[in-house]
Amino acid sequence: MDQHNSSDSLPDIERIPDTHFKSKRQIVFERNAKSGILGLLLIWSCIILIRTISQVTHPYGNSNNVGFQLPIGNVTKQGLLKVSMENIRNGTFQPQMHSLNWFHYADTDNEDRGFYTTSMNDSYVVKSVTDQDFAEVLFHGRYFTHDGKNFTVDEIIPSPDVKQLLIRTQTVKNWRHSVFGSYFVFKIEELSFVHVGDDIALAKWSPDADNIAFVQNNDIYIYSTKTASQLRRITNDGSAEVFNGKPDWVYEEEVLSSDTALWWSPNARFISFIKIDETHVREFNIPYYVQHENDIYPEMRSIKYPKSGTPNPEVDLFVYDTKEDSTYESKISNFYENPDFLLTEVTWIDGFNLIVKTSDRSSDCLKVVAINLSTKETTISREESSEGGWWEITQNTTPLLLNRSATKQESGYIDIIPIAGFNHLVYYPVKNSSGYIKLTKGDWEVIDGPSAVDKEYGRIYFIATRKSSTERHLYYVNVNNLGEIVEVTDTSKPGLYKATFSSSARFALLSYNGPDVPYQKIIDLRSYYTDSEVEGNVIGKTLYYLEKNVKLREMLSQYDIPEKSFQQLDLGQDESGNTILVNSYEILPNDFDPKKKNYYPVFFYAYGGPNSQQVLKSFSIGFNEAIASQLNAIVVVVDGRGTGFKGKAFRSLLRDRLGKYEALDQISAASFYGAKSYVDEEKISLFGWSYGGYLTLKTLERDSGKHFKYGLSVAPVTDWRLYDSIYTERYMHTPQENAAGYEESSVHNITSFNDVNRFLLIHGTGDDNVHFQNSLKFLDLLNLNSVKNYDVHIFPDSDHAIRYHNAGTMVYDKLFEWTKHAFTGKFIK
């Protein structure tokens, strides 16, 4: 019950004012007094209102924040909406993009009709780019029933002749690329299902569609689709420590970048596979705390993880002959004194010959091995030094069969090697020869090898940085006219393109990924006609658009997206007196006013790892744009020395000394921006994740608060002895060889962090990539050195991506709010 004033209980009678009983002087005096009180109340109300508004604009009321204001409202002066964190969370600006699984119908004529498989309206269908009305449904629905049980379709893999489907269900995620699941074969004509097996890690069709090679419990089996039964067991030694045909953790993460370590030969006779023995690799245990609500003890998971300088898994290549039911052991290990070498790529050149790339554990020396199954010989065809850099692991060797004479064909292949310091296409006409023919050259680089080969027209298509290292355009070179590079996409406009090709490379799905709104189109590259209006391709005719992202384009008209501009920053001179030019872009906040003085904060974002790239002219509206719009900050991204696609000399500088030049370049960029009249040099921050988290800490360590006042580090490496051997030693060699380099590259000068205003550390405890151990050791050093000016946010059981239990939302909210606190003065000492 509410409390009432006592007068409220009086009877309802007329009340006589007190003034009726007072003199005129008293009445005048009290009137004046009341007027004065009202005036004072009005003044105090205004003061309170002003202070309230000030608290909204300056929520922390810091006197050092004179003039700076967070944006008021979510609309710009032009009446357009601003980018918000809610936009980022719900994918407002995410374009729709599609993938096509190109194939060639074996029972059709040799004409390439551009067949592909795709999902449409809960159906898995065959389509043709030459006939948009053609659609053959292979499977309908997201579920199926077998032996009275219901299953959900997780993935469909068509056979090469597209008469059967391999369906995965009951999928369980393993590592970044790998899963386990149950597999069924669906026979399209019979509309019947056959169970292949459960807990299968990998399943691959043979090129003739008769068999499926699969891995179960780390052993390889062959399943026959003709007899609907297991045909053979190829290996018998699979275990928790021996992997056949399937990569272990480090080979999946750092070498093969996939779940596959077995490959059918083109003639379907042989299966090559890597055997990986982890017996001597040490274990790393990761506790999981919140997997089940009622668990009172953490769940412990063990992973074989080779840290820098510790034993690597031992590997070798085997080839199984299905006709002879025998296995050939290549014994590549005989070419190395130590068993810790790397086996990085396997490519079938033809039905009887393989090319295998290998290197020593520090990627100093590349050995290309040729295997001939006809003669059962394994030989070294090429042996090349990295010459001060390193051999980057690639998966882009492409077989190319050409007529070398009127009566003879040679099995050759296309590869990428450094030519005058830049990665270019070369052709090795003989599979076991070290002699090559240059296909491209110049001060630019080819990306990821050849995209496709059109044998009929002699064209080798590729994506390259020929116009700019921040763009990607499609070109081709003709093997019959070497030296002439032909532009396929329009280089007169900025562009970031990708392409996938039909079976003969006549048709392509051309994907434009920026800087404008992305689109996808199907083009006929052999057409004698060209488009009347150029958009994307300058060669070939557009058949139709697969995606225009019309809705996204219309919605963007309602928003004022912060302006992004690209530039090359001059960071001064290096130790040899050469000018340091780096790629960079900046995002200016809405309603940016360059006439303001000492006003705008600067939010640097960096990754900076060896051979990486962030400064690309792609379409992207994300966290950085939200920072610019909502916090009135200038966002800057700088690809400093060591990053990729600017030549070998630019990236190889990092060898044996990670963290030095990357940090110096971020500091130089901060100095450059801090000198701008409209920048508040007391509000410059740096944010990074993974290698970027490491770079954030190394930059703060080296800078000691001179330029960067704030830092946000997520999932950082803090000591390279704690990271995996294959990645780290490629750039640092082993700790035994480079002890001083490892010490200098670690985050070790802890007292320098005292001079930073404040920094934030975030990590997931279930990170199987960059172990939580890195942050714990760093926190221990902070404690030992009495450093207190930092905040920590830990995400239980989250892996490197930090998504578990709503962490994907929480982590960005935390980063955003923490940055807002920094820019509005809450952390000022």
Catalytic residues: 690, 767, 800
- The residues with which 208 forms a beta bridge, in sequence order, are none
Going by C-beta distance under 8 Å and a sequence separation of 6 or more, which residues neighbour residue 552? 93, 94, 95, 96, 517
What is each CA distance from 370 to 344, 383, 786, in whole angstroms?
14, 12, 58
Find where tokens 């990486």 sit: 612
d(C-alpha 754, C-alpha 786), whole Å: 9
CA dihedral 761, 763, 769, 774 (to 10 degrees): 50
634-639 and 579-587: which strand pairing?
Answer: antiparallel
d(C-alpha 468, C-alpha 38), whole Å: 70
d(C-alpha 98, C-alpha 95), whole Å: 10
Closest of 674, 746, 744 to residue 709, by C-alpha: 674
- The residues with which 500 forms a beta bridge, in sequence order, are 509
809 SS3 class: helix
Expressed in percent and rounded to 5, the helix, strand and coil fractions of the chain are 20, 35, 45
Under the phi-then-psi rule, with left for phi > 0, alpha for psi from -120 to 50, and beta for the rest, what region is 421?
left
Other C-beta atoms lying within 10 Å of the C-beta of residue 503: 17
What tokens appear for 592 in the block?
Answer: 């940016």
- The residues with which 493 forms a beta bridge, in sequence order, are none
d(C-alpha 531, C-alpha 517), whole Å: 20
Other C-beta atoms lying within 10 Å of the C-beta of residue 296: 5
Beta strands in 249-394 (DSSP E): 262-264, 270-277, 283-288, 299-304, 314-321, 326-329, 342-350, 353-359, 365-372, 377-385
Alpha helices, DSSP H, located in 677-772 = 691-703, 725-732, 739-745
C-beta of residue 562 within 8 angstroms of C-beta of residue 114: no
What tokens appear for 671 in the block?
Answer: 């100095």
CA atoms within 13 A on the CB side of 29: 5
Q: Tell me the residue type at 90.
A: N
If you count them, how many residues does the chain have? 829
Closest of 515, 400, 431 to residue 468, by C-alpha: 515
C-beta of residue 257 within 8 angstroms of C-beta of residue 265: no
What is each CA distance from 384 to 189, 389, 397, 411, 431, in whole angstroms?
52, 12, 16, 22, 16
